[in-house]
Amino acid sequence: MIGYKLTITQKDIIQQKEFAPKECFFCVLDINNIWFTILTPEQETIILDTEYSWVLGLPEAEYVPPPYVPPF
């Protein structure tokens, strides 16, 4: 899965910020401790006309999720 790579500062700026009604950023940490936000093409179109359009200029990279660890 391809996502936008974030610095910690960038993650802190956008985490859970609403960019449209019922649409917000969700940032996730990958297996290499790199922060990402993953957007659908529809979300990318919406973001173009917002104060968060800079996100679309961030480097794109492969998001590798950390291994699942059962809670018990």
**Residue in the structure block whose two tokens are 């993953």:** 38
The phi and psi torsions of 57 (rounded to 5 degrees) equal -95, 0
Query: Is there a domain that residue 68 lies in?
Result: no
Query: Is there a domain that residue 72 lies in?
Result: no
The pTM (predicted TM-score) of the whole model is: 0.89
Query: Is there a domain that residue 71 lies in?
Result: no
In tens, the pLDDT along 32-72 reads 999 999 999 999 999 998 999 999 999 999 999 999 889 98
Query: Is there a domain that residue 67 lies in?
Result: no
Among residues 45, 34, 24, the alpha carbon closest in space to that of 2 is found at 34
pLDDT at 60: 98
Instruction: Count up the domains in the chain and report the number.
Output: 1
Query: Is there a domain that residue 69 lies in?
Result: no
The SS3 of residue 23 is strand
pLDDT at 34: 97
Q: Which domain holds residue 45?
A: 2-62
pLDDT at 69: 86
Burial of 28-62, coded b for 16+ CB within 10 Å and e otherwise, reads: eebeeeebbbebeeebeeebeeeebeebeeeeeee
